[in-house]
């Protein structure tokens, strides 16, 4: 198993309410970027359902310079309807599912991992909210 010390939260940078899926993101990453697969390990849909992306045992392609030792989670959304302005568009169901997934990952296999926002490592607004701060209690309490 890969040594994981970071769980990095992303947004799909899609308009609020746009309902896209793993296959769509996989298409962007494979067809437009030339990657071997979707870059994220998990994707959380608007309805809160959690879907697997890239196999968790395989290095992701979501945060330059930090893929080797991290897990990438992406929620659908992150941009206002204008398509340009960053916004925390998480639905209540997405918030609940993201917390659930982070707790599962931290307590089962990756207790030493720290939860981060993508923006901690990149000059981007992604994931359009402060995941590092919001989930610090999980990072701290569960072995971070």
Whether 84 is catalytic: no
Whether 29 is catalytic: no
The two three-digit tokens of residue 114, written as one number: 């720290």
Whether 118 is catalytic: yes
CB-based contact 108:142 (threshold 8 Å): no
Q: How far apart are CA 141 and CA 136, in angstroms?
A: 8
| This prediction's pTM | 0.96
Tell me the backbone φ, ψ of residue 116, rounded to 5 degrees: -130, 155
Three-class SS string for the chain?
A: CCCCCEEEEEECCEECCCCCCHHHHHHHHHHHCCCCCCCCCEEECCCCCEEECCCCCCCCCCCCCCCCCEEEEEECCEECCCCCCECCCCCHHHHHHHHHHHHHHHHHCCCCCEEEEHHHCCCCCCCCCCHHHHCHHHHHHCCC
User: Domains along the chain?
Assistant: 6-141 (3.40.80.10)
pLDDT band at residue 99 under the 50/70/90 scheme: very high
Whether 126 is catalytic: yes
14-31 confidence digits (pLDDT tens): 999 999 999 999 999 999
Task: Find the catalytic residue in 41, 106, 116, 118.
Answer: 118
Task: Find the catalytic residue in 6, 11, 29, 40.
Answer: 40
Task: Find the catalytic residue in 6, 62, 116, 126.
Answer: 126
Q: How far apart are CA 129 and CA 25, in angstroms?
A: 21
118-134 confidence digits (pLDDT tens): 999 999 999 999 999 99
The two three-digit tokens of residue 33, written as one number: 């970027």
Task: Find the catalytic residue in 51, 95, 124, 136.
Answer: 124
35-61 confidence digits (pLDDT tens): 999 999 999 999 999 999 999 999 999
What's residue 100's pLDDT? 97
pLDDT band at residue 109 under the 50/70/90 scheme: confident
Hey, how many other C-beta atoms are within 10 angstroms of the C-beta on 47?
11
Task: Find the catalytic residue in 10, 66, 106, 116.
Answer: 10
């Amino acid at each position: 198993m890969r040594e994981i010390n970071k769980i990095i939260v992303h947004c799909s940078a899609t308009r609020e309410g746009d309902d896209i899926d793993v296959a769509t993101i996989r298409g962007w990453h494979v067809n437009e970027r030339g990657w071997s697969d979707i870059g994220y390990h998990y994707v959380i849909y608007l309805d809160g359902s959690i879907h697997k992306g890239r196999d968790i045992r395989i290095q992701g392609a979501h945060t330059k310079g930090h893929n080797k030792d991290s897990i990438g989670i992406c929620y659908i959304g992150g941009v206002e309807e204008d398509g340009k302005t960053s916004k925390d568009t998480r639905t209540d169901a997405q918030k609940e599912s993201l917390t659930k997934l982070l707790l599962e990952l931290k307590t089962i296999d990756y207790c030493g991992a720290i939860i981060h926002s993508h923006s901690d490592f990149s000059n981007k607004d992604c994931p359009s909210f402060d995941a590092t701060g919001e989930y610090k209690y999980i990072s701290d309490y569960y072995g971070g």
